[in-house]
Chain A
Amino acid sequence: MDNYKPNNMILQTTTSLIAFLLLGFAVYLLFAGHNSPGGGFVGGLMTSGAILLLNMAYGSLTVKKMLPINFTMLIPIGLLIAIATGLGSFIFNVPFLSHTFGYFTFPIFGEVELATAMLFDFGVYFTVVGVVMTIILSIAEDQ
């Protein structure tokens, strides 16, 4: 039984499809957060769910090659982004964590409302992905 190698073709094929959908939905949730249910937290959880599914189907070595990211480092990066949005208030001389928004016209999307609260959400997103992946990978790799 030593050289028994499971053939996970069905799992791997459906995973490539579903992981793609999951990542797309995660990004949708991240951007939808301002006006409908969603936001950085659930978006981050959904992204880690997608990466986790890839891990289960292809094994962690393949995924490491595919996504060469040190997930632990995402935590401080996310935190820095979140704090930086607050620190902007020191430059513009307004109370800490004041947020603003504006309307911009883009070629394909047309007029879009962009808010600085979105940047804070990016920080949350990266932190959540970093935390969840660090927890799961460090437990999984523990012998």
Chain B
Amino acid sequence: MSNLAVLPIIIPLISAIILIFFNSKVKASRILTQLFSLIGLGVSGYVVWQVVANGTIVLETGEWIAPYGIILVVDTLAAVLVLTTNIISVAGAFYAPYAGLGEKENYYFYPFYFFLITGVSGAFITGDLFNLFVFFEVLLMASYALIVLGGEKVQLRESVKYLLVNLFSSMLFVTAVAFLYGTVGTINIAQVAQRVQEVDQQGILTTIGILLFFVFATKAAVFPLYYWLPNSYIVPNPLVSALFGALLTKVGIYSLIRVFTLIFIHQIDLTHDLFIWIAGLSMIFGVIGALSTNNVKLIIAYNIIPAIGYILMGIGIFNQEALSGSVYYLIQDMIVKAALFLLIGIIVYVAGTSDLRKMNGLIHHYPLLGWLLFISAFVLAGIPPFSGFIGKLLLLEGAFRDGHIIIAIIGLLTSLLILYSIIKIFVRGFWGDKEAMEGIEKKPIKGMVAPVIFLLLLTVILGVGAEFFYPIADSIAAYLLDPEIYIDSVMKE
């Protein structure tokens, strides 16, 4: 029994409810948001420390034992992801006062912010498929509100698309869970895994697995199902885009990791080989999208898709190096995507346009901004001292070890093109004549830049301190490859 497992879920939930009462008091809301996010960070840090020291925390809510009640499972993977979520929430909370939210702050922005964090944390922690669905809905409801808040024409248009796609995939999720329940008679993930193992994953179960893959692939924006993502992610405020880019698709890919390392692992040549192809296509199409546009926000939004491709590639290859690479890449990508979206928000704010062709010579006026973008491009592409390198190195090592040469080459080429797509912003927007942007007055950006520096510093630490972080990723991969550990920790007999 440990109520520690529920704390990362209820702290943001209570924060959201308290902030509803402070709706009309903007100043108090801002301070409380920062305070609550720091509390959340502290608690999730403590949870990680407990999990690493004493092993998985399993909470049987309401004293109902394993397969009968709702089980919350905080293993190392979930704990680390919850910590990352809270880091991003802190950065967002300190960015919020400068984000130019305007009137939105009076319309329940901060409550929705914390409801989103609640949903994401809950989805990481739950040990029950239907509960996973509920937490998906919690985070999606909050994201619907955040995407449409402000009510501009373009927001309304994109939110309708976003809502329809997500509603459809949620319906498919319920249907898939119903099929699974009809087949194995349980929705507790550990017991499902046990029963699927007992019947050696016969035809119908593989079908349900593929169905679940479609659901999570839609949420995670994997190759044929990514079409809804780029435009809808750039219409809200940069802070909201950062939260979306860093957290929402990552919950989808986390669910894929869970389901396809725990439950559907007995027909690997059917499912996981398919993932490798889809991962390769996601990388190619994502990076083509990023290269095709001159809208700086859209370039970053398209860059989410190849990152998801890398993580999916690790699941597809399914050996220890590749999985630890996936985990490493997942965590660093959450941080760097949040940083990039916030950074692009600042760039658009100072340049007054998101069209790359209209920017020029920004580095003469904002040198710090330029170098931050330069660093984040290197992080994203995976240049050595930064964190993107370790994840990609492990993934490529895993790919070469199992002879997946083509996907490795695609991965390498994609890295190059990702680097090009970000450096393009740097070269075209920041280099150039000093006089080009003379017309615009210099805007103060001190407060906005601090959270970005904080996030980028973390990616540097993740890269430089790989010696310290790699064993954790490696142990997570070993843990993912042996589902018995998870099953035994939940189903104590």
Contact = CB atoms under 8 A, between A and B. Distances in A.
A36 to B, nearest CB: 22
Among A75, A86, A97, chain B packs the most CB atoms within 10 A around the CB of: A97
B3 A83 contact: no
A96 B59 contact: yes
Nearest to B111: A76
Contact of B3 (A75, A79, A95, A99): A95
Given A76-B21, A89-B3, A94 B63 contact: yes
Contacts of B62: 95-99
A106 B151 CA distance: 54
A83 B59 contact: no
A32 interface: no
Contact of B61 (A76, A80, A95): A95
Interface in B4-44: 5-6, 10, 13-14, 17-18, 20-21
Contact of B17 (A80, A89, A95, A98): A80
A76 B17 contact: yes
A98 B63 CA distance: 6
Interface residues of B, number: 17
Given A75-B20, A76-B21, A95 B14 contact: no
Contacts of B63: 94-95, 98
Given A89-B3, A90-B3, A97 B17 contact: no
Contacts of B61: 95-98
Contacts of A90: 3
Contacts of A89: 3
Contacts of A95: 1, 3, 59-63
B6 A83 contact: no
A83 B18 CA distance: 12
B6 to A, nearest CB: 4
Interface string A19-37: 0000000000000000000
Nearest to B14: A83
B1 A83 contact: no
A96 B3 CA distance: 6
Contacts of A87: 10
Contacts of A98: 61-63
B20 A83 contact: no
Nearest to A89: B3
Contacts of A96: 3, 5-6, 10, 59, 61-62, 72
Interface of B: 1, 3, 5-6, 10, 13-14, 17-18, 20-21, 59-63, 72
Interface of A: 73, 75-76, 79-80, 83, 86-87, 89-90, 94-99
16 contacts: A75-B20, A76-B21, A79-B13, A83-B10, A87-B10, A95-B3, A95-B59, A95-B61, A95-B63, A96-B3, A96-B62, A96-B72, A97-B62, A98-B61, A98-B62, A99-B62
Given A79-B13, A79-B17, A83-B10, 4 more contacts: A89-B3, A90-B3, A95-B62, A96-B5
